[in-house]
């Protein structure tokens, strides 16, 4: 039942990613048709058609430099969220081990105690490191920008949708149009498969890595939610307008009002 919910969540993320460009394309088509049928509104039509398809998310896209990519990769791999997420996941697994249920506290072979917790923390940190390295590495090969940018929109639901869509999409081209991102989808599974093959007990197989990858993908969605609603780290500095909760406290807003 738990796996069913995870699969449904991943399918929902994929549908969100696919529906967004389709909706933009439909809006663009409707705008073009209106322009052809009504010459009296030419100026309004030109303003509408010149508006970027992703204007509801980010009004202006600035392609990141290699330095920007390296800085955000370091933040995602070694920043506070990487440590906090690893500590939380290790604690959950440690607690589940005590229940002695099937597959509880993966891997249950590591037992209890601080040494076991340290092993689980290191494992979770390694999974995230491989996940982020794969995501940024493949993004270079696919010529995609997988950096997370905060939403230009306001309101909880639009920002929530933006964060979830960004889990399986990326920016591409000079205009930064949003596309489905194989690197963003592959990376979470690469991290867990590496754990199964390199340091988990030998009884774990590739299918176990895939199953854990589902949860890792959801963890990446959680990371995006934290970047959107709490603190965006260096990601925030790449956006010229945003609505963060802690921008004043952290002085992360480059254009304070």
pLDDT the model gives residue 229: 94
Q: What is the pLDDT of residues 159-207, one digit of tens each?
A: 999 999 999 999 999 999 999 999 999 999 999 999 999 999 999 999 9
Q: What is the pLDDT of residues 27-74, one digit of tens each?
A: 444 444 444 444 444 443 444 444 444 444 445 788 899 999 999 999
Kindly state the greatest CA–CA separation across the chain: 75
Q: What is the pLDDT of residues 201-254, one digit of tens each?
A: 999 999 999 999 999 999 999 999 999 999 988 877 765 433 344 334 434 444
In terms of Cα–Cα distance, which of 234, 235, 215, 211 is closest to 163?
Answer: 235
Answer yes or no: pTM beyond 0.85.
no
Give the whole-angstrom CA distance, residue 228 versus residue 113: 35
Output the six-digit token pair for 256. Answer: 């304070």
Give the whole-angstrom CA distance, residue 46 versus residue 169: 29
Distance of CA 191 to the CA centre of its chain: 14
DSSP secondary structure code for residue 150 in this structure: -
Q: What is the pLDDT of residues 112-170, one digit of tens each?
A: 889 999 999 999 999 999 999 999 999 999 999 999 999 888 899 999 999 999 999 99
Give the whole-angstrom CA distance, residue 180 versus residue 142: 11
- Average pLDDT of the chain to the nearest whole number: 77
Give the whole-angstrom CA distance, residue 196 versus residue 5: 23
User: Exposed, middle or buried by CB within 10 Å (0-12, 13-18, 19+), for 6?
Assistant: middle
Q: Report the sign of the C-alpha dihedral through residues 26, 32, 37, 38, in that order.
A: positive
Give the whole-angstrom CA distance, residue 123 versus residue 117: 10
Q: Please say whether the beta carbons of 183 and 138 come within 8 A.
A: yes
């Amino acid at each position: 039942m738990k796996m069913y919910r995870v699969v449904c969540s991943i399918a929902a993320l994929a549908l969100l990613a696919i529906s967004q460009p389709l909706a933009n394309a439909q809006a663009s088509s409707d705008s073009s048709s209106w322009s052809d049928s009504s010459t009296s509104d030419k100026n309004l039509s030109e303003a509408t058609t010149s508006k970027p398809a992703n204007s509801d998310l980010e009004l202006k896209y600035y392609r990141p430099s290699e330095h920007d990519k390296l800085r955000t990769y370091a933040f995602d791999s070694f920043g506070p969220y990487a440590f906090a997420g690893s500590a939380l996941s290790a604690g959950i697994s440690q607690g589940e081990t005590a229940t002695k249920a099937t597959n509880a506290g993966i891997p249950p072979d590591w037992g209890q105690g601080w040494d076991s917790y340290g092993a689980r923390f290191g494992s979770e940190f390694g999974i995230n490191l491989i996940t982020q390295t794969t995501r940024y590495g493949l993004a270079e090969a696919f010529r995609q920008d997988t950096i997370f940018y905060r939403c230009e929109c306001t309101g909880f639901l639009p920002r929530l949708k933006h964060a979830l869509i960004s889990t399986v999409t990326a920016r591409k081209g000079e205009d930064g149009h949003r596309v489905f991102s194989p690197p963003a989808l592959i990376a979470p599974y690469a991290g867990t498969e590496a754990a199964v093959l390199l340091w988990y007990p030998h009884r774990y197989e590739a299918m176990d890595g895939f199953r854990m990858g589902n949860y890792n993908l959801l963890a990446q969605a959680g990371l995006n939610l934290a970047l959107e609603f709490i603190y965006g780290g260096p990601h925030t500095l790449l956006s010229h307008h945003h609505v963060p909760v802690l921008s004043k406290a952290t002085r992360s807003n480059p254009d304070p009002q």
